[in-house]
A and B are shown apart, each in its own frame.
Chain A
């Protein structure tokens, strides 16, 4: 299937990338690879045979009967039957080859995609913070697309062309050394010519890609801001600006296309010139050697001409593929880069298990869902496994942290939260509020200090179990395409329908869900575009409620929602926070006021701490925030 040609940078190390691609495709399929090579050899052989056959046929069989009255056609029929038999084999093998390659290439691509995604899911949050989503996305779209092209088309074609070339060269050499030299000369010219064209063309293509990106970027920005354009009657100005970009694109695009289109005619006519050269030299040669049986025959010349045409076709094919292959290898390099990224490590050995409390107060592990959880803590020194009940006691001691080495953004953070207590963080953007919450669930690992969960260093706890015990409500709610029920159940997969609905009721989401056309089975798409900001928040609360973790980390939303929904959200949050340890990045005054302790952060340090009344009495930063003298965001 033809696709638009894509520009981009060629591979940095094409040979290495090619090796990796080959091992990706054939690494586990050595026998299939051998079979494929066999198929290609058979197909290529038949191509050479077929190029040769016509000359031999005319020379040996047709010429023999010229002018003969009532000739014997049986040798001709026999020759043609032999031809039919051989090309049949070639047809069959070529079909088998293609079927096999379809299977192998699609299976490989599937494997690559799944491997990429599995890798993606294992990467630390830092990776996603560091790399723009658009870039990661294009690994999955553009780069796998070009890899698809490479594996399902170019690979076999290149291999086939290479093997055919070897045979053609052999056949030509046997036929005539002199004429072979002529062909060699033309190969040099062709490679030079196509090389210089494709060099220019790839330069033009990257220029075209850049102007195209500029045009598309402008379109995107203006379409998104169209209402503003209209309100400010800015239509004419924006049309003028667009015209400039559009014309620049026209310029680069017509040049790039021109070069791509020119490739075909140039190589083809070089082939024609080669033919002329061969004919003249060949004719002289035939006449000099006197033709006939002893010398160089017309038939041999005709055969050579056929061989040389196949030869230049194959050379052209290879040189035209070259550009695509290099671009695809660049994509492959980026894919391998992703696959080589370092996954999130997890040395945790303390796990979360269901327990039953014995009569004597000891905890006993069980596979039943007792709703009682404990940390199972094996010890290195061989002392017996201990069970610590899951309560939600968090302590941070002298924690230092920086996203990049040498740039500490949190300094000496010490705090504690007893089970059921609420800790609020306030401070301006960049003060480090979000960073602290990122450390609790180990999205990032601290550089110095200690964090303990129920007295256990969180580095010893298995990450998945740690995260199961911490609920997160982020500032922006992320919903996934699927039903509302599925989105709430995201919190705990084995939750019954009843539990899902109870969670929704607790979050005050039940009423609006029941107003939707299909209730809990209403499908939401595009991150819940049909829902209001407030409704999305309610769903996020329900999701956390169904997970029912002992510790909650919340980043309150700042977006304005109407007073009615706001009250629902507030109430839902309050219910959710009951009996849980809560860390909240607070924007609502009521949340702050109800906290057991407020941490005022500035430049990564806790500068004030205490409860609402204490902090007001201090008349410090908190006081100024509270009276509206400073802006938070």
Chain B
């Protein structure tokens, strides 16, 4: 998994590799500086050797300058490397997701994909930067400081042989224990956010039923989980500082005592002892830093797994770029088709259906009867489990996927407009559409009346999701967009549900008269939308129950008849 992620560093590898080098440089200077400081006092000041003091001071300034340069360069390369890494992950994930089939998207779910591309990437970037900066820096600091202590103090380093294991055990204990509490607290955050979110979305319901107190109760419960776990985790973490202080002071005392003895017998200088005090701090704090990085890393572990899952998912449907490019006509044939979203649950079975090019077909049936699944197979949004779907006489799997989808235009049930202008949205259908073509499509889909009433016409702004247009207007725009593709087959999945009946029938009239050779497949809850179709397909429980014209079905199918009666009796003002 780490390999999948790390291979994304790519062109930023050089930055990722030089960062540790700069860190080594910086650390070397940081470790050298206390020794030089010690020498200045011991040799220079103690002997009143001003020349020495000046010489060493110049060296010290140079060292500080080097340390600064290394530090700045390290900061520069680390931020390049980590930002570049994140950028590459984002790009690869995006490209991978764009290649996903509908089935792959279903498997991950949209909100989860969004998290995997946003929060997860940020987490991984953070811990990557920590890794190349601190995870390299701290151990090097540790090693250098140990060497210097040994060099300056010799046997004094024995003190650390005792102290270091103690520190490691203490850190492991404290971080290990608090980590559990913190992850419970973060889970508590999810519930906390959910309660607030649900309350905001349902505030009218809450107020209408006067349920403010119950909501507050739920909220307090979730806030308590956060408070209690944070308290436990932080109380555990509160041990860290005192424990580290104790160990540091114990080391200092031991070093002072042994140091005094060594100095007494002339094995050590006072300046050396002074510099060892500094190294003691460096050794112990580098251990704490390593502990912190490990905690960070383990927090972002879950994010890494989620990203790697996306990157390693092979799209379940290939684009088949070598496939047939030319769709002969708009005929559709289903041969013994069965289909399901999972392995064990069949959504469609034994489907046999023939649609001639240029026909208008209506599809009706209850929710869950398989209408949407049926038409999804035509544009090969999903693959059949058995049998075959043929468009223009060829199996859909033999086509180049893009060529097929360019000829089979689907107006989805859950349709979306994108932020931008009306024209930009329409041009999704055909980027090179001329003004005349756009006008034609808009006339067909009854878009022209409301667009021409808008101040900016086709340049009017569309909010994200098209929320500044009414449901009916959105649906009509989506139909126009699909028509601009100039497809051979047009599928409308409940695409006029929010359009009034008069407009609905005028759209159908336009489709029938203006684009005669276009195969039109219309799913609807409204019988009036399919009554004048050449054939009406009745779906029930994943099977085709009956196929026929309105008058045929009316005379022979009791279910159809009763549907017809309830709908003409009930009807609707706008639905």
Contacts and interface: CB of A to CB of B under 8 A. Distances in A.
Interface stretch (B328-336, B386-394, B414-422): B414-422
Contact of A467 (B209, B245, B366, B470): B209
A223 B273 contact: no
A590 B575 CA distance: 12
A416 interface: no
A103 B231 contact: yes
B220 A114 contact: yes
Given A106-B227, A228-B415, A269-B67, A261 B133 contact: yes
A140 interface: yes
Interface string B203-243: 11111111110111001100110110011011101110110
A564 interface: yes
A189 interface: no
Contact of B572 (A95, A266, A480, A588): A588
Given A117-B219, A261-B78, A223 B575 contact: no
Contacts of B231: 102-103, 106
Interface string A248-271: 011001111110011011101100
Chain A CB within 10 Å, residue with most, of B118, B200, B207: B207
Contacts of B207: 125, 441, 443, 467
Interface residues of A, number: 158
Interface residues of B, number: 163
Contacts of B249: 50, 83-84, 87, 91
A225 B97 CA distance: 12
A276 B54 CA distance: 10
A283 B575 contact: no
Contacts of A238: 98
Contacts of B189: 141
A588 B99 contact: no
A339 interface: no
Given A91-B242, A231-B405, A298 B41 contact: yes
A137 B570 contact: no
Contact of B264 (A66, A110, A265, A630): A66
Nearest to A90: B245
B67 A265 contact: yes
Nearest to B179: A1
B328 to A, nearest CB: 19
A31 interface: no
Contacts of B406: 233
Contact of B573 (A117, A262, A527, A587): A587
A331 interface: no
B95 to A, nearest CB: 6
A480 B202 contact: yes
B373 interface: no
A107 B208 contact: no
A22 interface: no
Dominant SS among interface residues on chain B: helix
A628 B505 CA distance: 10
Contacts of A50: 249
Interface in B23-50: 26, 30, 33, 37, 40-41, 44-46, 48, 50
A257 B83 contact: yes
A514 B57 CA distance: 85
Interface string B549-575: 000000000000001001100111111
Nearest to B259: A62
A563 B129 contact: no
B548 interface: no
A444 to B, nearest CB: 12
B271 to A, nearest CB: 8
B122 A232 contact: no
Interface stretch (A162-170, A214-222, A359-367): A214-222
Contacts of A406: none
Interface string A65-82: 111100101001100100
B150 to A, nearest CB: 21
Contacts of A411: none
B570 A590 contact: yes
Given A276-B60, A298-B46, A567-B566, A632 B500 contact: yes
Interface stretch (B68-76, B156-164, B345-353, B511-519): B68-76
A532 interface: yes
Chain A CB within 10 Å, residue with most, of B26, B117, B266, B415: B117
B72 A229 contact: no
A161 interface: no
B194 interface: yes
Contacts of A590: 570-571
A272 B64 contact: yes
Interface in B124-168: 126, 129-130, 133
Contact of B64 (A80, A276, A464): A276
B305 interface: no
Contacts of B198: 478, 480-481, 527
Contacts of B72: 262, 265-266
A63 interface: yes
A226 interface: yes
B461 interface: no
Given A95-B238, A628-B500, A140 B193 contact: yes
Contacts of A273: 61, 64
A239 B92 CA distance: 10
A560 interface: yes
Contact of A76 (B79, B193, B257): B257
Nearest to A592: B573
Contacts of A58: 270, 273-274
B525 interface: yes
Given A80-B257, A106-B227, A128-B203, A253 B48 contact: no
B418 A110 contact: no
A547 B418 CA distance: 41
Chain A CB within 10 Å, residue with most, of B97, B238, B296, B481: B238
A521 B167 CA distance: 51
Contact of A118 (B122, B216, B379, B567): B216
Contact of B118 (A71, A219, A237): A219
Q: Lowest 5 A-B CB distances belong to which pairs?
A: A265-B71, A261-B75, A478-B202, A257-B79, A98-B238
12 contacts: A1-B182, A66-B263, A76-B260, A109-B230, A110-B223, A226-B97, A234-B428, A239-B95, A257-B83, A283-B40, A283-B45, A467-B207
Given A276-B60, A562-B366, 7 more contacts: A57-B256, A66-B264, A94-B242, A269-B64, A302-B270, A563-B366, A631-B503
